[in-house]
Amino acid sequence: MATQLIVLAAGQGTRMQSDLPKVLHRLGGAPLFAHALAAGAALDPERTVLVTGHGAAGVAEAVAEIDPRIVIVEQDQQLGTAHAVRMAAAALAGAEGDAIVLYGDTPLIRPQTLQAMIAARKAGHAVVVLGFEAADPARYGRLVMDGRELTRIVEFKDASADERQITLCNSGVVAADCATLFDLIAEVGNHNASGEYYLTDIVEIARARGLSATAVTCPEEETLGVNSRADLAAAEAAFQTRRRAEALEDGVTLVAPETVYFSHDTVIGRDALVEPNVVFGPGVSVETGARIRAFSHLEGAHVGRGAIVGPFARLRPGAELANEARIGNFVEIKNAQVGEGAKVNHLTYIGDARIGEAANVGAGTVTCNYDGVAKHLTEIGARAFIGSDTMLVAPVRVGDDAMTATGSVITEDVPDGAMAVARARQTNKPGLAVKLFEKLRAAKAKRLKDRG
Ligand code: UD1
Ligand code: CA
């Protein structure tokens, strides 16, 4: 049976104190709503509808970047969760199977949890709600159960003193047959303490029709909704804890797991080793046996098998390290391929470049890739040896097995096997240093004497 996904993302997020719509704030390098979408994607949804409101244009743009098939509908006024879901009705007209309602600001929900909800639907419950035992139920809606049957959901504002004692709370996630869902929502009114159309009212409406409702539960963490920067930080912490555990589970050595930061899409191979204080920005893959040493920062980079990066290295987008490459301390690599076994070990900037296999780039080398207007390519051949403090003024090519002398400013191509020397020749003046020192010391002594 098909599944349809509805993601509510209209909320303003006033408490974020931000010009950015709440669901565009990032967690693990991806916007919040993308995490809910990723969990929902595990159900292989036929259609996905995202309901936007505040900052709709920006949200629509970000959604299209992730998946242009997602239908975006706008809720002009936030009249409640049922009203928000109703906005998706036209986009889901005629859709078959179950619909699942997720919240764009609730990023930690797990695919397995959604699958458990679908299983409960298959077991014959018309409405399946996701609940959790709240450590502090605060202002959450409460699930009123009668055995396995969910009899109603009552919002905190509308709850009696007894109902407020209930600790089983509503996460907001709901599953129901798609057509039935919209049918039930059509009956929802707004006669309650908030004057809003509550999605939660569909439980009582379903039961009045003789339909069954139940709750599936999950750990509270999965239902963590982001309403403030503090919530965002808490969600990030929970996300990182998860990713670290997954990496360890996958056979990655993390020397100090709590100091390593992952992105939503970080891929690390088995038997890779990550030292303390490493940050993985989006788009990084690290192959098996590679070693990422302490205090390195990587984004948009690929690290080949057995390569070593850092300590204190920076890999920027387009850094492609072949197997066994070595990138050392205070080296920055951007948009550059570093060949198999090539070494760039100290204090160097490599941008817009291709470095051949087994080349050796000396300390303090700079690819001068930018003329202030355009970027240019530097090519370094296989087995080439770049002397320390070489400036490679791009576009330029150093051939295979070629060499550059230390301190050279290379502005012209160096043929294969050639040695390029591009610096002033040294001359030694015998005895001149001693004379110079004498002169300087005499001048200093005179100054001190004159001052008295
Ligand atoms: C809702 C639930 C409550 C549950 C809680 C969990 C209802 C009536 N209440 O309450 O039982 O415990 O979530 O966090 O459903 N939204 C829209 N358009 C609207 C209103 C809301 O898109 O018109 C979106 C919000 O952006 C948010 C989500 O729906 O992502 C929940 O809305 P919110 O106003 O935060 O609901 P709560 O009052 O927290
Ligand atoms: Ca809320």
Write the residue with the smallest CA distance to atom 30 of ligand 1. Answer: 103
User: Is the CB–ligand 1 distance for residue 103 below 6 Å?
Assistant: yes
Q: What atom of ligand 1 comes closest to residue 155's alpha carbon?
A: 11
The answer to whether residues 186 and 300 belong to one domain is no
Number of neighbouring beta carbons within 10 Å of residue 120: 21
* 426: its two tokens: 């040294």
How many structural domains are present in the chain?
2
Q: Which residues does the annotation mark as catalytic?
A: 346
User: Is the CB–ligand 1 distance for residue 10 below 6 Å?
Assistant: yes
On whether residue 443 sits in a domain, the answer given is no
Residue 225 CA, ligand 2 centroid: distance in Å: 7
On whether residue 439 sits in a domain, the answer given is no
pLDDT surpassing 90 at residue 11: no
Contact 448, 432 (CB under 8 A): no
The answer to whether residues 218 and 262 belong to one domain is no
User: Is the CB–ligand 1 distance for residue 140 below 6 Å?
Assistant: yes
Mutation probe of ligand 1 site: the residue of 24, 35, 81, 173 with most atoms within 8 A of C-beta = 81
User: Is the CB–ligand 1 distance for residue 80 below 6 Å?
Assistant: yes
Contact 324, 304 (CB under 8 A): yes
Residue 210 CA, ligand 2 centroid: distance in Å: 30
| End-to-end Cα spacing for the chain | 99
Task: With CA atoms as reference, report the closest residue to 6 among 151, 203, 173, 187.
Answer: 173
On whether residue 389 sits in a domain, the answer given is yes
Last residue of a domain, one of 203, 223, 243: 223
Q: What angle, 0 to 180 degrees and rounded to 10, lies between the N-to-C axes of helices 111-122 and 32-41?
A: 50
pLDDT surpassing 90 at residue 14: no
User: Is the CB–ligand 1 distance for residue 52 below 6 Å?
Assistant: no
Nearest ligand to residue 105 Cα: 1
On whether residue 328 sits in a domain, the answer given is yes
The answer to whether residues 300 and 206 belong to one domain is no
Q: How far is CA 65 from CA 23, 37, 40, 163, 445, in A?
A: 14, 13, 17, 44, 72
pLDDT bracket for residue 303 (50, 70, 90)? very high
User: Is the CB–ligand 1 distance for residue 227 below 6 Å?
Assistant: no
The answer to whether residues 284 and 213 belong to one domain is no
On whether residue 216 sits in a domain, the answer given is yes
Look at residue 1 in the predicted model and tell me its pLDDT: 83
The answer to whether residues 100 and 12 belong to one domain is yes
* 235: its two tokens: 């969600």
The answer to whether residues 150 and 214 belong to one domain is yes
Residue 332 CA, ligand 2 centroid: distance in Å: 43
On whether residue 292 sits in a domain, the answer given is yes
User: Is the CB–ligand 1 distance for residue 235 below 6 Å?
Assistant: no
Q: What atom of ligand 1 comes closest to residue 199's alpha carbon?
A: 15
Q: What atom of ligand 1 comes closest to residue 103's alpha carbon?
A: 30
- Check which CATH number belongs to the domain holding 304 and give it: 2.160.10.10
The chain-wide mean pLDDT, for the chain, equals 97
pLDDT in tens, 22-59: 999 999 999 999 999 999 999 999 999 999 998 899 99
On whether residue 437 sits in a domain, the answer given is no
Nearest ligand to residue 22 Cα: 1
Nearest ligand to residue 144 Cα: 1
Task: With CA atoms as reference, report the closest residue to 98 among 206, 203, 4, 216.
Answer: 4
On whether residue 191 sits in a domain, the answer given is yes
Average pLDDT over residues 256-283: 98
User: Is the CB–ligand 1 distance for residue 78 below 6 Å?
Assistant: yes
Q: State the residue range of the domain holding 9.
A: 3-223
pLDDT bracket for residue 421 (50, 70, 90)? very high
pLDDT in tens, 146-192: 999 999 999 999 999 999 999 999 999 999 999 999 999 999 999 99
Q: Whole-model pTM?
A: 0.93
User: Is the CB–ligand 1 distance for residue 185 below 6 Å?
Assistant: no
User: Is the CB–ligand 1 distance for residue 39 below 6 Å?
Assistant: no
Write the residue with the smallest CA distance to atom 39 of ligand 1. Answer: 140
The answer to whether residues 194 and 280 belong to one domain is no
Nearest ligand to residue 102 Cα: 1
For the chain, the three-class secondary structure string (H helix, E strand, C coil) is CCEEEEEEECCCCHHHCCCCCHHHCEECCEEHHHHHHHHHHCCCCCEEEEEEECEHHHHHHHHHHHCCCCEEEECCCCCCHHHHHHCCCHHHCCCCCEEEEEECCCCCCCHHHHHHHHHHHHCCCCEEEEEEECCCCCCCCEEEEECCEEEEEECHHHCCCCHHHCCEEEEEEEEEEHHHHHHHHCCCCCCCCCCCCCHHHHHHHHHHCCCCEEEEECCHHHHCCCCCHHHHHHHHHHHHHHHHHHHHHCCCEECCHHHCECCCCCEECCCCEECCCCEECCCCEECCCCEECCCCEECCCEECCCCEECCCEEECCCEEECCCCEEEEEEEEEEEEECCCCEEEEEEEEEEEEECCCCEECCCCEEECECCCCECCEEECCCCEECCCCEEECCEEECCCCEECCCCEECCCECCCCEECCCCCCCCCCCHHHHHHHHHHHHHHHHHHHHC
* 348: its two tokens: 């160097």
Residue whose entry in the numeric block shows the structure tokens 């004497």: 449
Cα 322 to chain centroid, rounded? 24
Last residue of a domain, one of 223, 242, 262: 223
Contact 296, 281 (CB under 8 A): no
Residues in contact with 428: Cβ distance below 8 Å, sequence separation at least 6, in sequence order: none
pLDDT above 70 as % of the chain: 100
The answer to whether residues 346 and 210 belong to one domain is no
The answer to whether residues 270 and 184 belong to one domain is no
pLDDT surpassing 90 at residue 120: yes
The answer to whether residues 216 and 273 belong to one domain is no
Bridge partners (DSSP) listed for residue 22: none
- Whole-angstrom Cα distance, residue 134 to residue 304? 45
pLDDT bracket for residue 452 (50, 70, 90)? confident
Task: With CA atoms as reference, report the closest residue to 91 among 76, 61, 70, 77.
Answer: 70
pLDDT in tens, 289-301: 999 999 999 999 9
Residue 105 CA, ligand 2 centroid: distance in Å: 9
User: What Rg, from alpha-carbon coordinates, does the chain have?
Assistant: 31
User: Is the CB–ligand 1 distance for residue 141 below 6 Å?
Assistant: yes
Q: What atom of ligand 1 comes closest to residue 78's alpha carbon?
A: 23
Residue 452 CA, ligand 2 centroid: distance in Å: 78
The answer to whether residues 256 and 309 belong to one domain is yes
- Check which CATH number belongs to the domain holding 35 and give it: 3.90.550.10
The answer to whether residues 203 and 340 belong to one domain is no
Nearest ligand to residue 131 Cα: 1
- Whole-angstrom Cα distance, residue 432 to residue 445? 20
Q: What atom of ligand 1 comes closest to residue 105's alpha carbon?
A: 30
Residue 340 CA, ligand 2 centroid: distance in Å: 52
* 354: its two tokens: 């291709």
